[in-house]
Structure 1
Amino acid sequence: MLVLLAVPVVPAVLLGEDWVRGLWSGELPDRALIVAGAALLASDILLPVPSGPLLVLLASRVGWPAATAAGVIGLTVGGLAGYALARWGGRPLAVRWAAPDELARWEQAIAANGSWMVLASRPIPVAAEAVTLAAGLGRMTLGPFVGWLLVGNLLTSLVFSVLGQAAAQSEVLSVAVVLAVAAPLALHQLARNRHNRRAPKD
């Protein structure tokens, strides 16, 4: 997972601003790009799609409002898919998409801290998908789950999209792509460390 998340960063660092801009400067119409971006984000439960860099790049081309909308739609569809897979498919199906220890970790976190964990996990790679699966396994009430999911996806999409548009206007898009990978990874490590400190010792 870490290697796949690093894929957008390496060219951005080595090849610079012109390469990152050129990636999104082709002939594909904006509308098609928005639909493709939303579809990629929706597939995040199946594929390791780095949502932060994708939203940054999308916003640099189509603007933050359209990128935010694509993010909310795509991430929400993916989150609902994860919840449904786990709730109605059970643990044997859920562990095909997340490691058993990761699922157990987030099931405990949801049980201890409530459904707001769905909100807190949205920008965090690996955790975002694992939490939706854990919520399904725990049979979290659908209404609160969808509510927290929508709010989290809106905030996450808005932050990355505004960052992408601002970075494009300031001609520092490659820096924004690197930041969009590094910040969520740092959040993931912080979440793991916090859980490990709270975990009971044998």
Structure 2
Amino acid sequence: MRRLLIVFFGFFGVFVLIFALAVWTGIAEETIWLDWLQGLKSRSAVWWGTILLLGLDLIFPVPSSLVMTYAGKELGLVEGTLAGFCGSMACSIVGYSLCRWGGRKWFARFVGDADEEQRVREWLMRYGGWMLLLSRPIPMFTEMTACLAGLTGFKMGRFLFFVTLGTLPMALIYAWYGQKGIRGNLHL
């Protein structure tokens, strides 16, 4: 279990390093991402732009909550929710897939002990769903838990179930807030 924590905090360190580099280069500024999205002229461009930006959140510090809120403002509740959901799911699925098919051998070598690896897998089978579900609204943890699930061989069906269960309400809430902001005082 100790090695699982090392892997988890290793991922956290990588994401923090990427964020620090983004801050240093200036691409962590929320206005860069939102200005680009707001510059899109058609509804379909906003739809695909939302999905693209949320997909890029795996690598870049995209302000996903603001992107989903803006999608709700521009696309309405249903389409904004769907665009936010699709983009967030794309980010999670890509992170999971890259780690599942690119990192499992590394993970097995790192853990080293077959018994330890089995304990990690059993722990994830027991608590991994909750980890995936509860991490959805937390920046960086969303990506880290998706990658960790892929590394440890978490079953794809269970992964999709828990990620969907956590992502759909989040996308709905942000889109609702964005739509409500049209009548309110939301200046996106």
CA contact (8 A) 1:85 1:93 kept: no
CA contact (8 A) 1:86 1:93 kept: no
Instruction: Name the CA distance, whole Å, in 2 between partners of 1:163 and 1:83.
Output: 29
In structure 2, list runs of 5 or more residues that go unmatched. 1-18, 108-119
Instruction: Name the CA distance, whole Å, in 2 between partners of 1:40 and 1:86.
Output: 20
1:85 to 98, 112, 125: 98
Q: Which residue of 2 aligns with 1:100?
A: none
CA contact (8 A) 2:81 2:175 kept: yes
Aligned in 2, Cα 1:30/1:120: closer, same or farther, shift over 3 Å?
Answer: same
Which residues of 2 match residues 107-118 of structure 1 at below 5 A? 110=124, 113-118=127-132
Instruction: Name the CA distance, whole Å, in 2 between partners of 1:112 and 1:160.
Output: 30
CA contact (8 A) 1:82 1:132 kept: yes
Q: Which residue of 2 aligns with 1:155?
A: 169
In structure 1, list runs of 5 or more residues that go unmatched. 12-19, 95-106, 178-202
1:17-68 superposed Cα distances (whole Å, 9 cap, x missing partner): xxx89x73x5611111111111111222122211101111121112121111
Instruction: Name the CA distance, whole Å, in 1 between partners of 2:46 and 2:128.
Output: 36
> CA RMSD for the aligned pairs?
3.0
Q: Which residue of 2 aligns with 1:7?
A: 29
Instruction: Name the CA distance, whole Å, in 2 between partners of 1:111 and 1:157.
Output: 26
1:165-188 superposed Cα distances (whole Å, 9 cap, x missing partner): 1122112x14xx7xxxxxxxxxxx
The runs of 4+ residues in structure 1 deviating greater than 6 Å are 91-94
Alignment of 1:42 with 2:55, yes or no, is: yes
1:108-133 superposed Cα distances (whole Å, 9 cap, x missing partner): 98466331211111111010000000
The count of corresponding residues between Structure 1 and Structure 2 is: 151
Q: TM-score normalised to the size of structure 1?
A: 0.64
Q: What percentage of residue pairs aligned between the two structures are identical?
A: 30
